[in-house]
Amino acid sequence: MKSSKGIRKRTRNILSKSPRHRGLPPVTHSFVKYEVGEKAAVVINPSVHRGQPHVRFQGHTGTVKGMQGKAYVLHLNIGKHGKDIIIGPEHLKRQ
């Protein structure tokens, strides 16, 4: 069988939760505010699909650059130039 080419390919362990933590997160996770210049880590919550970054950014730490709607623009130092990703607050964790 041909392997899948979707955006969540090869993420069986990364994007899965233990049985005790299954289900949606508390509503308060959506209301956390981050200031510009603050450090935040990318911790993908697989039960929330909205604002979810690509799996390659899981575990990286970056600096909050600003907001875009309800989401945050996070600058990650990846490679020579770095990357700006747009990510929902449910997938961020304060450092």
CATH number at residue 90: 2.30.30.70
Asked if residue 72 belongs to a domain, the reply is yes
Residue closest to 48 by CA, chosen among 28, 18, 25, 14 = 25
pLDDT tens, N- to C-terminus, the chain (95 residues): 998 898 889 999 999 999 999 999 999 998 999 999 999 999 999 999 999 999 999 999 999 999 999 999 999 999 899 999 999 999 999 99
Domain tally, the chain: 1
Domain containing 87 equals: 35-94
pTM: 0.90
DSSP 43: -
| Predicted local distance difference test score (pLDDT) of residue 72 | 98
Asked if residue 89 belongs to a domain, the reply is yes
